């Protein structure tokens, strides 16, 4: 077991939950992850995170989505606490593909984000890490045509990917 996994396993329940909530804002998910400690290796932690996302009710997914800004919007820390600032910094890093995007692409992202929210009732979620603004816009266009059921599956998959990336950041693995 790595020292970072030992660190996560040794935290008091409330502290561990607070740390994990920066990776996924679903309280149910964070409580389950804390309850299933210790994790023997990175692979078991990753799988537990993904399994936890798959098991969430849609209301829990919506709770997690509430912590994600629109693609192209800058995340701001809601409170001057370290954890909120960490989430805002991660979001900004993850969406770095929009930093150099042309104004027309950003404007179309804004317009399509609103269309998406009107259609599905929540923010468009995509693992933005490593993707350009154009790639994210293309995926947004494609997913606007999904059924509600298909889109919920896509959102779960994206949330799981984002969550695993953030856990690795939390543990200093990337």
pLDDT digits (tens, 9 = 90+) for 77-132: 344 444 467 777 787 777 767 777 888 988 999 999 999 999 999 999 999 998 99
**What pLDDT shows up at residue 83?**
47
174: CB partners within 8 A, 6+ apart: 165, 168
pLDDT at 4 over 50: yes
Please classify residue 150 by burial: count the beta carbons closer than 10 Å to its beta carbon, then call 0-12 exposed, 13-18 middle and 19+ buried: exposed
pLDDT at 26 over 60: yes
pLDDT at 75 over 70: no
Question: Across the chain, what does the average pLDDT equal?
Answer: 90
The length of the chain, given as a count of residues: 174
Residue with tokens 């266009």: 141
13: CB partners within 8 A, 6+ apart: 34
d(CA 173, CA 168) in angstroms, rounded, equals 5
pLDDT at 62 over 60: yes
**What pLDDT shows up at residue 80?**
41
* Closest alpha carbon to 154 in 113, 125, 133: 125
pTM: 0.89
Question: Residue 74's pLDDT band (boundaries 50, 70, 90)?
Answer: low
All structural domains of the chain: 3-171 (1.10.3330.10)
166, 168, 169, 174: CA torsion to nearest 10: -130
pLDDT in tens, 118-162: 999 999 999 999 899 999 999 999 999 999 999 999 999 999 999
């Amino acid at each position: 077991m790595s020292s970072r996994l030992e660190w996560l396993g040794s935290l008091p329940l409330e502290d561990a939950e607070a740390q994990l909530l920066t990776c996924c804002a679903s309280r149910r998910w964070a409580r389950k992850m804390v309850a299933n400690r210790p994790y023997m290796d990175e692979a078991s932690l990753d799988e537990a995170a993904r399994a936890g996302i798959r098991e969430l009710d849609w209301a829990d997914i919506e709770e997690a989505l509430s912590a994600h800004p629109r693609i192209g919007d800058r995340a701001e820390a809601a409170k001057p606490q370290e954890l909120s600032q960490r989430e805002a910094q991660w979001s900004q890093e993850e969406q770095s593909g929009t930093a150099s995007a042309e104004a027309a692409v950003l404007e179309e992202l804004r317009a399509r984000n609103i269309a998406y929210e009107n259609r599905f009732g929540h923010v468009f979620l995509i693992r933005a890490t490593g993707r350009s603004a154009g790639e994210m816009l293309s995926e947004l266009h494609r997913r606007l045509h999904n059924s509600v059921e298909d889109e919920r599956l896509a959102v779960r998959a994206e949330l799981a990917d984002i969550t695993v990336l953030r856990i690795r950041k939390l543990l200093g693995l990337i």
